[in-house]
Amino acid sequence: MTQMSVADAIRTRRTVRHYLPDPVAAQDIDTLTELAMEAPSSWNLQDRSVVVVTDPAVREGLVWATGGQPQPQEAPVTLVFVAEPHAWKNDRTDIFDLARRNHAWNDEFIAGFAAASTEFQQGLAERDLLREYAVKDAMIAATYVMLAATELGLATSPMNGWDEAKVKKVIGIADRDDLAIALLVSVGHPAETRRHPGRRASDRNVFRDTFAGPRPESGN
C-alpha cells in the first residue's frame, strides 16, 4: 500500500458522523495515541492527556454528555482529550531526564528552561490564561490524531456541542476542577461517504503581514 502523504491526509480527511460496528484494531489505537503524544506542546509541558473510550457503557455515557449525538454510540472508539492547565506545577524531572538522555538538552539549558517556563506559566495564571494554553496543546494533539487516522483508513469526527461537566463525570474526573475537556474525537470505519463541501479561495483568509479580513456585519 502506498503511504499517504500529510498533504493527502489533510485534503482527503472528512468529518464522519456515522460508523460501521467493525472494531478498530488495538494496534491502530496504540498508533494513534502514540502519535497524539508526539504533537507540539508549549514549553514541552505535555499538559494534555487522552482517554480512550471503548466500553459500551462509557460510550453510552458520552452519548448522554453530547446531547444524543450518534458518533459515540456508533463509533467503536471515542478519544477524549483532556487539558491539564496546572501541569506546570508538577514534577518534570522525567521530561528533563529524557531530554538529557536524548542529547537534546544539557544541564545548563534545563536549568534555564525550567525557570523560564515556570515564570511564563505564572504570568498566564495572573492573566487567567492557563486553561486556554492547555486546551491549545490538546487541540494540536487531536489534529495529529485525525490526520494519522486518515492515513490508517479510519474516519474521525471532532466533536463539539458537549457538556463539559457531563463528560468529566463519564470519564471519572467530575471532582477535578484542575482539568478541562478540550475535544472529543470519534474513531472508526465509516458507514457513509462525505463529499468535500469546499473551502473559500485562500485570498479570502490568507493575508501578508497584516489582517485584512471583513468586519462582522452589524445586526438589526
- Non-local (6+) Cβ contacts of 54 within 8 A are 29, 76, 77
Instruction: In whole angstroms, give the CA distance from residue 183 to residue 51.
Output: 11
Question: Do 76 and 191 contact (CB within 8 A), yes or no?
Answer: no
Q: What's residue 50's pLDDT?
A: 98
- The domains found in the chain, sorted by start residue, are 14-198 (3.40.109.10)
CA 41 to chain centre: 11
Write the single-letter amino acid at 112. Answer: G
Report the side by side order of strands in the sheet with 180-188: 48-53, 77-83, 180-188, 155-159
The pLDDT profile of the chain, 220 residues, written as one tens digit per residue, is 568 899 999 999 999 999 999 999 999 999 999 999 999 999 999 999 999 999 999 999 999 999 999 999 999 999 999 999 999 999 999 999 999 999 999 999 999 999 999 999 999 999 999 999 999 999 999 999 999 999 999 999 999 999 999 999 999 999 999 999 999 999 999 999 999 999 999 999 999 999 999 999 876 6
Q: What is the pLDDT of residue 2?
A: 64
Which residues have a Cβ under 8 Å from the Cβ of 111 and sit 6 or more positions away? Answer: none
- Predicted local distance difference test score (pLDDT) of residue 3: 81
CB-CB contact of 100 with 109 (8 Å): no
Locate cell 523560564: which residue?
A: 116
Using left for φ > 0, alpha for ψ between -120 and 50, and beta otherwise, residue 209 falls in left
The Cα–Cα gap between 149 and 156 comes to 7
pLDDT of amino acid 219? 66
The cell 529524557 sits on which residue? 98
CA-based max dimension of the chain = 62
